[in-house]
Each structure stands twice: as C-alpha cells, then as structure tokens.
Amino acid sequence: MVPRTLLRTVVVPAAPAEVWRVIGEFGAFPDWHPYLLPSVIEDDADPAIPGAVRAFTYEGQVVLRERLLAKDPAAHAYRYSVEAPAFPVTGYEARLSVHPHEHGAEVRRQGAYEAESDEAVAQVEQVFGDGTYATGPAALRDRFARYPPSAAVQALEVLIEDEASPEVWRRPWHRIRTRRLPGGNDARRMIGSGNTVRMSFETVQTPQDRALRHVAELSSGPPVDPALRVTLNFHPDRVAHGRSVLASLAEDAVYHSQFVTGTSNGGLTAHPGGDRWRWESRIFNGAYDEAPAQDRPAYGALNFRDKSAGAAPRFGSAHLRLTAETLNRTTFCYPDSFLEPSDFGVAGRMPLIELARADDQDALDDYIEAQVHGQVRLGRDVEALVLDPSFRDTPVEEAARSLGCPLEWHAGFRLTVDELRRHPDYRGREYVELGTRIAVGGVLDPRILGDAARAGDHDPQAIKRVWHCLARFGAP
C-alpha cells in the first residue's frame, strides 16, 4: 500500500465567512453540491458533532458512508473519513476548508489514503478528484459569481404519506438533508423510516434572481467583453444623514442604493410609488415591488468608452470600479431607465454597445445604465475607488484610504469661469452665474463645488446643474 494525496481548489467570489455559511455543515452537501447522490445523516445525529455519519444512497441502498472526525468552525474547516469506498484504498481521510483569497475565498478539498495499485489511484482521481472534489466547488463558484450570497435559497416540500394521517412538512432544504436522484425519481424510501417520501423541489427565487431572469429573457446579442467594467459614479464629499458618503462606506462596507440613502445625484424619486420605484417595477417585472430597500439594485454604468473618470460622470466626480465577477449579476438598459427604454442586456447577451455607439447623445448622457443586483461590498466587489485630484490631502482622501480598497486618481475635472460663460444655454444662464459666484480664483473643481454644497447656501438641485456644466466642459 502506497500513501497518496489528493487536492482540488477553487476560488469563489465571496467572503470566506459567507462561503462557510453555505458549505460548513457536514449534512449540507445537498445545499450546494448539484452532482451527488441523495444523502442523510444517520440515526438523526447532530451533524456538528464528531461521529455523525452521512450516508449516500442509490435506489434506496446505502453505497457510501462518511464519518465526521473533527470540525473547526473558527478555521472554516472539517475533517471526515470515507468508510468502505467502492475501490481498493484504505484509510481515506478528507478535509473541506475555506481560506481567504485576494479575490474572495479559496475552497480546498483534500484527501489522503493508501492505494493498492495505480489503477486504484486513477479511480480515486476520477471519482473524487475530477468528480466530487472539482464539480461541487465549481458550481459553488458559479453560484456566488452570478448571485449574491443570499440569492440561492432553496426550499423542499416533503409529503410523508401515512395511512393514518398524511402530514406536510415545509422546511429549509438543508434541514431535510436529502436530494433528488439523477433521473428525477420523485418517490423513494428514507433510510430507516419505513415511510414513502415524495419530494418536489421548488426554487424560492429572490427578487434579484427574478429580476435577472426577466431581463435576460428580454436581451439578445453576443456576451459582453469581460475586460469591460461597471462603474458607480458619486460625489465622495456629500453628506447624508449627518455622515459623508465615504464615512458611510467605511462604516457599512457596502454601497447602498438611493432607496436606502434617500439621496441621489440624479432624480429624488426612490420611494414607493415614485418614478424610480415605477421604472424598476416595469423593467424588472415587479420583482422588487415588495422588497425591502436594501435588496434593491445599485445603479452605475458600463464603461464601454473606457473613461478615466467613470462611465457616467454626470452622477459624480468619483467612482467605484467593480470587479469582472459583478458583471454576472448586472442588468443593463439603454438609454437611461427614466426614459423607459425597450432595449436591455445582461452579461451573456449584450446588444447595447452597438446601439450606444451609433447614437448621438450629449457627453453626459452617453452611457449604458447598469443595475447591480445584490450587495456591492467593498472587500469583495470593488477593484478600486477612483478620486478627483482636487481631493488630494483633504479629509476625503483620508476617508478613502480607510476603506481598505485600492485608491486611484483620474486626471481631474477643472473648469474656468471664462469657459463656463461660453455655454449659457447648456443648463441655463442662472447656473452660469451661480458657478461664477462659487468659483475660487476663477476656477471650479469638484472640491470647490462640494464645499458650496455642504455650506447649504444654495439649492442642491442648482448645485447639481453647475456640476453638470463642470462635468461636461471641464472633463479630463
């Protein structure tokens, strides 16, 4: 007998704790592994306590047992033995663990055993290595890439048929700890129960799931270039509810939609029955109509023109550049949703870039709107925060460096009063005059305009229109 080892790893775009919540229970294989035979925890044992046995069955017969040896939730790991495998190996012990990774979490499946022959090693590599160890984590990776951690909730309806009194149980899937066999047989016998169990699987879709599916059905065309990025433009120095935008980001580590913040660099209609609510109801087929504010999408734009200041600077001088993985849970429309568009896209079907390139829009309206479904977390979903250089050596830079994500700078917005006065018809002469009064040394930049906004001496909507002039005619 020769000692052998086996290792498969995969990187999942989510925090280690979020991944562990899905896979950390010894009896939770059916929750996340789509390619296994049904399994149960024998003797109704506690799956968190060493000694618990999970049994895999085929046509009502146990074909494999695995016994929990140790579990360390703090280390995001557990270890188990494989009893009586179907090939000539002995002493098979395995470990499932989750580790921090620069792109989220690394899931490791490891095994150690002794084999009688090279043929036995090949069987282990095929069945465990390329089968169980590779396919499950790969499906887990795809799940987190497409949906936020809360988006793949499942339920299982179990009807236990008893001659005396039929009873319906409705429980979370992981509490049942069994799974439909390949081929879709609905009826089978639970080990040791003596009762016939009929199972029907119902996907309990979240609002994000329903919204993504609906927009995908409306979309066509080739997949988006994975090198493109979604950016979320905003003003980093604005204050809402007594906190600056960056202070809120630092405290929450999440970028919130306007339904949560109550603020916007566009229209202020994010409330039940408001225009933003109505537009979302139309685009997403009512998916978010009853959803809490924190579940609604965050808005940005697809940076298909590779603008250094972000795809949609009309909404702010700074932007968060999101990771490639977020494309998979983003929907798109062109033009802006307030125009009630009829053209939509998703990462796998993107017809909008050609439409946008062929259109003749003002520079501030030249963007493909993006709706990111699920939380936008700084540590998981953000490649960089990109600021205007007018904020160097200011509290804005200090706050930005506390966020824990990379900080970058674009070339900067800057507009002289002389240039501003050349465009009285763009947003109106009154805003040219207001910009002239706000300017310092005959110049406008994002920091100067932000100081004026926080002073509270001017209508915020008027400040917004001055910003449009600065963003349009003073762009980097």
Q: Is 342 exposed, middle or buried (0-12, 13-18, 19+ CB in 10 A)?
A: exposed
> Cα–Cα distances in Å, from 326 out to 154, 165, 323?
22, 49, 6
Domain boundaries, the chain: 2-149, 208-236+248-357+368-389
- pTM over 0.75, yes/no: no
- Options 3.40.640.10, 3.40.30.10, 3.30.530.20, 1.10.3720.10; which CATH number does 2-149 get? 3.30.530.20
Q: Which residue has the tokens 């995969």?
A: 10
Taking the C-alpha atoms of residue 105 and residue 15, their distance in angstroms, rounded to an integer, is 6
The per-residue pLDDT string of the chain (476 residues; one tens digit each, 9 = 90 and over) reads: 778 888 888 888 888 988 898 899 998 877 777 666 778 889 889 989 999 999 887 667 788 889 999 999 999 999 999 886 666 788 889 999 999 988 888 999 888 888 878 888 887 887 777 777 777 777 788 777 654 443 333 322 333 233 333 333 333 322 333 333 333 333 222 323 333 333 333 334 578 888 998 999 999 999 999 999 999 999 999 987 788 889 889 888 899 887 676 555 555 566 677 888 898 999 999 999 988 888 899 999 999 999 999 999 999 999 999 999 899 899 999 999 989 999 999 998 999 999 999 999 999 999 999 999 988 999 889 999 999 999 999 999 999 999 989 999 999 999 999 999 999 999 999 999 999 999 999 999 999 999 999 999 999 999 999 999 999 999 99
Taking the C-alpha atoms of residue 117 and residue 111, their distance in angstroms, rounded to an integer, is 17
Q: What is the 3-state secondary structure (H, E, C) of the chain?
A: CEEEEEEEEEEECCCHHHHHHHHCCCCCHHHHCCCCCCEEEHHHCCCCCCCCEEEEEECCEEEEEEEEEEEEHHHCEEEEEEECCCCCEEEEEEEEEEEEECCEEEEEEEEEEEECCHHHHHHHHHHHHHHHHHHHHHHHHHHHHHCCCCCCCEEEEEEEECCCCCEEEEEEHHHHCCCCCCCCCCEEECCCCCCEEEEEEEECCCHHHHHHHHHHHHCCCCCCCCCCCEEEEECCCCEECCEEHHHHHHHHCEECCHHHHCCCCCCCCCCCCCHHHHHHHHHCCCCCCCCCHHHCCEEEEECCCCCCCCCCHHHCCEEEEECHHHHHHEEEEECCHHHCCCEEEECCECCHHHHHHHCCCCHHHCCEEEEECCCEEHHHHEEEEEECHHHCCCHHHHHHHCCCCCEEECCCCCEEHHHHCCCHHHHCHHHHHHHHHHCECCEECHHHHHHHHHHCCCCHHHHHHHHHHHHHHCCC
The dihedral over CA atoms of 16, 22, 23, 26, expressed in degrees to the nearest 10, equals: 130
